[in-house]
Amino acid sequence: MGEVISLNDIHRAFIMGGQRFEALKGVSFRVAEGEFVAIMGASGSGKSTCMNILGCLDHPTSGDYLLDGLDVGRIAPDQLAAIRNRKLGFVFQGFNLLARTPAVENVELPLVYAGIPARERRRRALAALEQVSLAGKENNHSSQLSGGQQQRVAIARALVNEPAVILADEPTGNLDSATSEEIMALFTDLNRSGITIIMVTHEADVAACAGRRITFRDGLIIGDSQTSQTD
Amino acid sequence: MDLLQTLKIALRALRTNKMRSFLTMLGIIIGIAAVIAMMAVGAGARHVIAQQIASIGSNIILVIPGSTTSGGIRIGTGASQTLTSDDVKAIMAECPSVETAAPTVRSTAQVVFGNMNWSTIIMGSTPEMFDIREWPTISGRGFTRQDVDGAAKVCLLGQTVAENLFGAADPVGKVVRIKKVPFTVVGLLERKGQSPQGTDQDDVIFVPLTAAQRKLVGSQFPNTVGAVLVKAKGEELLDKAESEVQSLLDQRHRITGAKEPDYSTRNLSEILAVAEQSSRAMSLLLGAVASISLVVGGIGIMNIMLVSVTERTREIGIRMAIGARKGDILLQFMTEAVLLTMIGGLIGICIGAAGATVVSGILSWPTLISIESVAIAFFFSGAVGIFFGFYPARKAAGLNPIDALRYE
């Protein structure tokens, strides 16, 4: 299988209060198509900075980042926006749906920015909602949906553009354990259907769903291991 | 991102805060309503002035008998009779810039037809009068040279007089009595409407100058005339014609050096220029009020848009993460601002138009709402939105997606 992500000696430094602070001190790893990777580490370990770079929201100070064969390390903000739009799907801890907006329009949003015509948008958004078992809820606003349902809408939104990778930042952090399991089951299903997933998490049992676990500490990777798949 | 979707998002954002959106619009509504009302009042005033200019006739100089001093007693302007028919003939013959001139003698009298009577102004004049005032007859005929030379007992009726004596019937051919003298009605004049001074120009009967002098106006000097209307050959020759008339009359009346002329001239367009100037001053005043209101309204919009950008920082972050470019965010907030001002503008146009209609109804001040004024107001409200929406929109577009996403 092909390589979707290739990070090579990534450094990211911030200047804070006149002091240089290195959040990433040379991180390299590759992710193959269809992998399910859990990224773990204490807060301040550099995993969030790494996710921002993976998500094309931030530039590395040095090092190379190839996403789906494209060198995205140093390109212009508007092109980065287009790459985020086409190659990546985001799932956040706090769902981050638009308030007072029906579920289906939330799911359509990436297609809006991709310039897909309205009819095609609606068709694909409904299909994505069905994929996350929310068929029939397309007109509900986020306030009319439970936390688990909101996260499903967010996952549908991440899926709708058929991205190369889904980046999930603690997607179960705001959910109770039963709902967490449902969401993790959904992620596992999506991964089995061939979608590449990279997920930041604190919880070991969540990470256990992933086929591979990368652990960060002090801006460096200290562990990268395949885990036995648990069903 | 297509415009329809942008509009939809902007409308939803405005609907979310209905009261706030309305209050923000209020400045624009007031400003645009003032602009529309101002333009309606200004255009109405100009329209009336243009009508009045047309009703008087163009390029006219009025020569009126001046004050005379006899035995130390000064008699007011127009009260004495210092102009004669010969003066008028001389003006027509010797002033190159003058197209024609018409003398008038004026009197008031009761006119009787059958059992009807009406008190009106009797105006003695010559055929030239009706050319100068551009005043045709709508039935019958006008005066001829023979009418004047022979002091014929014929008359032309103004519309008001005809209505009061004859109702709807055609007066031509009928005989009316003016100061007990029978006159045959030969023509009915077209309706003129109000003069700039507000008098009814149609409340008049014209008779030949000579007939008036001999039969109706009891003057001790038979050949004298009242006011003389002089028409210049063109608008640019108005001032020249006026000075030619003045020097001719000075010469004929032997007025030299410090001696005060026994007549005065008045250029009618000057009177109208004053009227126009005052309407323009009023427009300017309202315009100033309107533009201040628009600027204040615009600042209000900028203020609210800045608040909105801060409130929706997280939404902006989500949109950026999902693939919105800076331009998309900029366009979205600009659309919101422009929508706000344009809706305000539309409401303002309606209120301004309604206000102008009410004003014209109550104060009987004529108003005219033109398509251009509506278009200008609408365009202006949009421009205010673009101008004052740009800074907040640029601030939104310049947000860093990571910070925006993390914003609480």
Domain ranges of chain A: 3-226
Q: Is the pLDDT of residue A230 over 60?
A: no
Look up residue B294 and give its amino acid: L
Residue B152's nearest CA partner among B206, B207, B108, B217 is B207
User: Is the CB of B320 less than 8 angstroms away from the CB of A81?
Assistant: yes
User: Is the CB of A90 less than 8 angstroms away from the CB of B328?
Assistant: no
Distance CA(B2)–CA(A81), nearest Å, equals 16
User: B363 falls in which pLDDT band (50, 70, 90)?
Assistant: confident
Nearest to B324 among A81, A96, A101 (CB): A81
Percent of chain B with pLDDT over 70: 92
Q: For A17-33, what is the mean pLDDT? A: 90
Residue B135's nearest CA partner among B195, B64, B181 is B195
Alpha-carbon distance B24 to nearest alpha carbon in chain A (angstroms)? 21
pLDDT score of A11: 92
ipTM confidence:
0.90
User: A231 falls in which pLDDT band (50, 70, 90)?
Assistant: very low
Q: For A139-144, what is the mean pLDDT? A: 89
**Entry pTM:** 0.70
Tens-place pLDDT, residues A55-69: 998 888 899 999 988
User: Is the CB of A98 less than 8 angstroms away from the CB of B325?
Assistant: no
* Chain A residues within 8 A of B308 when measuring between CB atoms: none
* Chain B residues within 8 A of A164 when measuring between CB atoms: none
Residue B55's nearest CA partner among B156, B143, B140, B158 is B158
Question: From edge to edge, which strands make up the β-sheet containing A220-226?
Answer: A88-91, A165-169, A196-200, A36-41, A212-217, A220-226
Tokens of B284: 């300017």
- pLDDT higher at A166 or B38: A166
Q: Mean pLDDT, chain B, as a whole number?
A: 85
Q: For B195-209, what is the mean pLDDT? A: 84
User: Is the CB of B322 less than 8 angstroms away from the CB of A82?
Assistant: no
Q: For A204-215, what is the mean pLDDT? A: 87
Residue A169's nearest CA partner among A114, A93, A75, A69 is A93
Alpha-carbon distance B402 to nearest alpha carbon in chain A (angstroms)? 6
Q: Mean pLDDT, chain A, as a whole number?
A: 89
**Using CB atoms within 10 A of its CB, is residue A69 exposed (0-12), middle (13-18) or buried (19+)?**
exposed
Q: Is the pLDDT of residue A167 over 60?
A: yes
Q: What is the DSSP letter of B201?
A: T
List Cβ neighbours of A230 (8 Å cut-off, separation of 6 or more). Answer: A208, A209
User: A1 falls in which pLDDT band (50, 70, 90)?
Assistant: low
Look up residue B303 and give its amino acid: N
* Chain A residues within 8 A of B322 when measuring between CB atoms: 84-85, 90, 109-110, 113, 157
* Chain A residues within 8 A of B407 when measuring between CB atoms: none
Q: For A79-99, what is the mean pLDDT? A: 89
* Chain A residues within 8 A of B324 when measuring between CB atoms: 81, 113
Distance CA(B177)–CA(B183), nearest Å, equals 6
List Cβ neighbours of A67 (8 Å cut-off, separation of 6 or more). Answer: A4, A5, A54, A56, A83, A87, A88, A164, A165
In CATH terms, the fold of domain A3-226 is: Rossmann fold (3.40.50)
- pLDDT higher at A31 or B55: A31
Q: For B78-96, what is the mean pLDDT? A: 81
- The verdict on A55 touching B (C-beta cutoff 8 Å) is yes
User: Is the CB of B402 less than 8 angstroms away from the CB of A58?
Assistant: yes
Alpha-carbon distance A78 to nearest alpha carbon in chain B (angstroms)? 5
Among positive and negative, which fits the CA dihedral A164, A217, A209, B322?
negative
Distance CA(B223)–CA(B228), nearest Å, equals 13
Q: Is the pLDDT of residue B70 over 60?
A: no
